[in-house]
Amino acid sequence: MLSPEVNFDTIKVTKKQKGGVTVLRLVSLFSGCGGMDLGFIQCGYKIVFANDIDNDAVQTYRANLGDIVQKDIREIHEDEIPDCDVLTAGFPCQPFSSAGKRRGVADERGTLFHECIRIIKRKKPKVVVFENVRGILSIKNKDGSKLIHTIEQLMNDCGYHVDYKLLKASDYGVPQNRYRVFIVGFRKDLRKRFVFPKPIKSDKLTLKDALANIDSTLPNNEHWKLSPQSQEIVPYIKEGGSWKDIPYDKLPTRMKHIRDNIRKYKSPNFYRRYSWNEICGTITAAATPENCGILHPTENRRFTVREIARIQSFPDNFIFEASSIAGKYKIIGNAVPPKLAYVIAKRILEILEDKIVAEEVTSEQLAMF
């Protein structure tokens, strides 16, 4: 099990919890394998309750971070959850993803954020942090209103000032151009608002940097083998290239049809193979080479589990356990990058301790994203 004192490569964990600095209690809902929680732990928070329903995510969480309640959130009574200072929730993103069917609140999973609201009303944490895919900014309710505004209004009715923003993980030390929306609410009686941290400049985020010095004896060095079709066409794709490198006569029939009508299909970039000198694109839960840059820059294979863990900013001693190798890719792809979570956790702590001046940032200003 990981110790809270484990350091990330560039994150220095202070040990001032006993010197008058309050240890904040965190309730984590839809915890996944623990990416968000690990970032908060590294910032000195104490997890007092975690919950997820996915077997693979729970297995990995327990192996690294400790106890987690495996239960449908709809079956969890508020009295089962301890009091807390901060509540985080990465409620299911599939209904809001541009890669999915985008059924939004028509999808049963799209209403699960109401379960978060139910718990927030009872526990009244000082701060609430939601994380979701960028599609949540545009998805609409049945009446045509935007879902993000519904969430904002519900939080306001619960007594929280809400600010939200689309963040790019590579702006905060994560070697991945991953976009996610963070929604942060501060309880109104605190008379504070969240100020999103400014991007952190770094020139060490390329694949060459991210995957340097991976010890072959590290756990999770296995990779998910490509399908027979992918094995046949991937060797034609050069470093930094894509499916457009594949000779026409070698393309599967469906891809030939798309190549023949490339304007109609808006020039899709299937089978993207990022070069060593590029920052990797979003690692998805499906880990399919057709839809995300999961291909190794120079070897004809997917990234290993350990490599995508590096790209998601998990430390090398975080072990992924699942019933299948595909399950390991899934839980990593669904995770919040721990380094990004750390940045959010640190900023919350700074605001609560009055270490920065929390200027008023309105939701209207942030809605431009």
303 and 281 Cβ atoms separated by less than 8 Å: no
CA 326 to chain centroid, in Å, comes to 18
What is the full DSSP assignment across 20-38? TPPPPEEEEES-TTSHHHH
Q: Which residues are catalytic?
A: 93
Helical H runs in the chain? 35-42, 55-64, 113-123, 147-157, 207-210, 228-233, 253-260, 305-311, 325-334, 338-352, 363-366
Bridge-based pairing of strands 69-70 and 25-29 is unpaired
Going by C-alpha positions, the residue among 2, 71, 10, 11 that lies closest to residue 37 is: 2
Going by C-alpha positions, the residue among 147, 44, 159 that lies closest to residue 93 is: 147
Per DSSP, 125 falls in state -
